[in-house]
């Protein structure tokens, strides 16, 4: 028997894009929550849905462990969870039903539940934990197991007698200190399926970890329902020691840091590089960061520590759009970062976003031009996605219909009045991906180049017929008139691929 059974709702095989990528990672946030409960003396089990059938497997876990409490505790360190996908929501609601039918109290935590606590409570969850929730989880579980009233626990939402949501104290719970937070309970899940999936698809085994939580930047489209604008950083020696553990105890040959923004503190990066070097534990790792943080000193420290790949939130090649996003980034800083990373032998990859209000064909071409001029090693392309409690969401909220979340990470449905139709943005994404891919193909692969050129031809044909005459404008439009200095004539889009 277990006092608490923890689980989460993300299942890889419900997400077609992630199945193609086949880069599954254990639910780190869920495992941190498990370690906190276990450190306080509770018996804990974890049902990991990532690579297991969430329907049949969860019912079997309930029967095997007979838990008093089920906590559907999402992985806050996985960007897929932060996207609040409706497929995940459906899985969570089914888990609530199964757990309640078995007589368990049900606690739910995650970005989607924080944004939509009322809906989760209406689907019979007993409690929703808001914000950074390790502390409130432990307090709620201890109170329930004692049979006491949960009233007074910060960061707790529950249904009142009148059907309204009671948010206790109106604030989220304080976060556990990183110094005192126990290591994630990786021993509670089976690592073999992860190792097998990675080895078959990529020839090596990668595991995930974090060095920090949260992000202090204020990009106006970025949702932060868990940490807000707070930022917590672990001691460098603790992070290096965990890399050593992953390498020596679990056989990890690569690490993905799930931090929202890595390398924010340049003094910390230097300390981290020294700690890794002193332990002789360097293995290739991948991070997410910002171009303006890639100073010569930081890139040098990343190189020493073993960094192999940096994913930067570039978003757009148009300064007008970056300013409209409150990104706080210059296009020139992207170009500088790309060159520094290339010189250091570190892969530079871009997250790109199309469709932000006010973006025109001219702005789109500036993004294409930036990609071609700097030749990143890889790209990830999305369309602007309005999530609650962001400035962007407030601007377009009146335009949203019944669909307000993507079904899976490959949905790419534009849910507001963007400048173009979904078909256009899908064609644009596919064409840009095809072009970047052909740069890294064999120099004699003319088939790939011809295919990419043909895809750009489709973008060109779709552009004039896919325009939305009622597109949402940006407040920057009046301040930033169109600048044609970087405009690429339409006919050049397909020709450039053949010349690449």
Residue 186 placed within a domain: no
Specify the CATH number for the domain of residue 99: 3.40.50.2300
How many angstroms separate the CA atoms of 340 and 335, rounded?
9
Alpha carbon 238 to chain centroid, angstroms: 23
The tokens describing 298, both together, are 């930081």
The answer to whether 132 and 227 have CB atoms below 8 angstroms apart is yes
How many angstroms separate the CA atoms of 256 and 208, rounded?
5
Question: How would you classify residue 251: left for phi > 0, otherwise alpha for psi between -120 and 50, otherwise beta?
Answer: left
At residue 443 the predicted structure's pLDDT band, cuts being 50, 70 and 90, is low
Of 84, 21, 61, the C-alpha closest to 407 is 84
> Would the pLDDT of 496 be above 80?
no
| Mean pLDDT to the nearest integer, 173-202 | 86
In this structure, the answer to whether residues 152 and 213 fall within a common structural domain is no
Report pLDDT for 451.
Answer: 86
Residue 182 placed within a domain: no
Question: What number of other Cβ atoms are within 10 A of residue 98's Cβ?
Answer: 18
How many angstroms separate the CA atoms of 44 and 67, rounded?
9
In this structure, the answer to whether residues 163 and 214 fall within a common structural domain is no
Alpha carbon 465 to chain centroid, angstroms: 33
The tokens describing 180, both together, are 């005192």
What is the value of pTM for the model shown? 0.93
Could you give the 3-state DSSP secondary structure of residue 203? coil
Residue 193 placed within a domain: no
Report pLDDT for 167.
Answer: 78
In this structure, the answer to whether residues 141 and 218 fall within a common structural domain is no
At residue 435 the predicted structure's pLDDT band, cuts being 50, 70 and 90, is very high
In this structure, the answer to whether residues 162 and 249 fall within a common structural domain is no
Residue 394 placed within a domain: yes
| Mean pLDDT to the nearest integer, 250-268 | 97
Helix (H) or strand (E) holding 158: strand 156-159
> Would the pLDDT of 480 be above 50?
no
Find tokens 């530079």 and name the residue.
Answer: 348
How many angstroms separate the CA atoms of 373 and 174, rounded?
45
Of 70, 106, 108, the C-alpha closest to 116 is 108
Residue 196 placed within a domain: no
Instruction: Please give the mean pLDDT across all residues of the chain.
Output: 91
Report pLDDT for 160.
Answer: 79
- Reported as a single tens digit per residue, the pLDDT across 298-356 is 999 999 999 999 999 999 999 999 999 999 999 999 999 999 999 999 999 999 999 99
In this structure, the answer to whether residues 367 and 421 fall within a common structural domain is yes
Task: Among 128-137, 154-163, 266-275, 374-383, name the one with the lowest average pLDDT.
Answer: 154-163
Task: Among 193-202, 246-255, 486-495, name the one with the lowest average pLDDT.
Answer: 486-495
The answer to whether 43 and 1 have CB atoms below 8 angstroms apart is yes
In this structure, the answer to whether residues 256 and 403 fall within a common structural domain is yes
Specify the CATH number for the domain of residue 296: 3.80.30.20
Could you give the 3-state DSSP secondary structure of residue 356? coil
Domain count, the chain: 2
Report pLDDT for 481.
Answer: 46
Q: What Å distances lie between residue 204 and 48, 197, 250, 302, CA to CA?
A: 22, 9, 12, 21
Number of H helices, E strands in the chain: 19, 15
- Reported as a single tens digit per residue, the pLDDT across 128-172 is 999 899 999 999 999 999 999 888 888 899 987 776 788 765 444
In this structure, the answer to whether residues 249 and 367 fall within a common structural domain is yes
Of 90, 30, 95, 108, the C-alpha closest to 60 is 95
Q: What is the DSSP letter of 262?
A: S
At residue 32 the predicted structure's pLDDT band, cuts being 50, 70 and 90, is very high
Instruction: For residue 278, give its domain range.
Output: 204-499
> Would the pLDDT of 198 be above 90?
yes
In this structure, the answer to whether residues 159 and 212 fall within a common structural domain is no
The answer to whether 269 and 263 have CB atoms below 8 angstroms apart is yes
Q: What is the DSSP string of 225-277?
A: TTTTT-EEE--HHHHHHHHHHHHHHS--SEEEE--SSSS--HHHHHHHHHHHH
Residue 181 placed within a domain: no
How many angstroms separate the CA atoms of 195 and 411, rounded?
28
């Amino acid at each position: 028997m277990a006092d608490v059974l923890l689980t989460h709702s993300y299942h890889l095989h419900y997400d077609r894009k992630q199945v193609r990528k086949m880069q599954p990672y254990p639910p780190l946030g869920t495992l941190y929550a498990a370690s906190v409960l276990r450190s306080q003396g509770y018996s804990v089990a974890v049902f990991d849905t990532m690579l297991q059938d969430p329907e049949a497997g969860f019912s079997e876990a309930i029967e095997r462990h007979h838990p008093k409490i089920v906590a559907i505790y999402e992985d806050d360190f996985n960007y897929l969870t932060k996207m609040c996908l409706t497929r995940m929501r459906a899985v969570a609601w089914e888990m609530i039903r199964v757990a309640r039918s078995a007589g368990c109290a049900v606690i739910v935590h995650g970005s989607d539940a924080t944004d939509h606590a009322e809906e989760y409570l209406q689907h019979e969850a007993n409690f929703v934990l808001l914000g950074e929730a390790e502390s409130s989880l432990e307090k709620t579980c201890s109170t329930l197991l004692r049979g006491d009233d949960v009233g007074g626990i910060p960061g707790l939402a529950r249904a009142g007698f009148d059907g309204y949501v009671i948010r206790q104290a109106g604030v989220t719970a304080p976060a556990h200190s990183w110094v005192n937070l126990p290591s994630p309970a990786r021993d509670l899940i089976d690592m073999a399926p992860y190792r097998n999936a990675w080895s078959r698809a990529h020839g090596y085994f990668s595991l995930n970890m974090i060095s920090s939580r949260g992000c202090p930047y204020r990009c106006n489209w970025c949702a932060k329902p868990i940490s807000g604008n707070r930022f917590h950083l672990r001691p460098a020696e603790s992070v290096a020691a965990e890399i050593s553990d992953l390498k020596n105890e679990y056989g990890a040959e690569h690490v993905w840091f799930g931090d929202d923004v890595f390398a924010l503190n340049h003094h910390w990066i230097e300390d981290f590089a020294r700690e890794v070097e002193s332990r002789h534990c360097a293995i290739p790792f991948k991070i997410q960061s910002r171009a303006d943080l890639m100073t010569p000193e930081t890139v040098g420290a990343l190189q020493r520590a073993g960094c192999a790949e940096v994913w930067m939130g570039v978003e757009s090649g148009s300064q007008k759009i970056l300013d409209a996003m409150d990104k706080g980034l210059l296009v020139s800083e992207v170009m500088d970062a790309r060159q520094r990373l290339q010189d250091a032998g570190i892969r530079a990859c871009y997250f790109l976003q199309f469709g932000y209000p006010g973006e025109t064909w001219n702005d789109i071409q500036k993004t294409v031009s930036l990609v071609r001029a700097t030749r990143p090693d890889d790209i990830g392309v999305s369309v602007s996605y309005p999530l609650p409690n962001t400035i962007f969401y407030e601007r377009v909220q009146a335009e949203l219909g019944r669909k307000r979340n993507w079904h899976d990470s490959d949905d790419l449905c534009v849910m507001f009045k963007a400048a173009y139709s979904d078909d256009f943005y899908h064609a644009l994404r596919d064409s840009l991906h095809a072009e970047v891919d052909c740069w890294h193909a064999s120099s004699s692969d003319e088939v790939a180049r011809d295919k990419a050129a043909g895809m750009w031809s489709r973008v060109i044909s779709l552009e004039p017929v896919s325009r939305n005459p009622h597109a949402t404008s940006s407040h920057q439009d009046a301040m930033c008139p169109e600048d044609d200095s970087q405009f690429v004539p339409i006919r050049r889009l397909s020709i450039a691929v053949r010349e690449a």
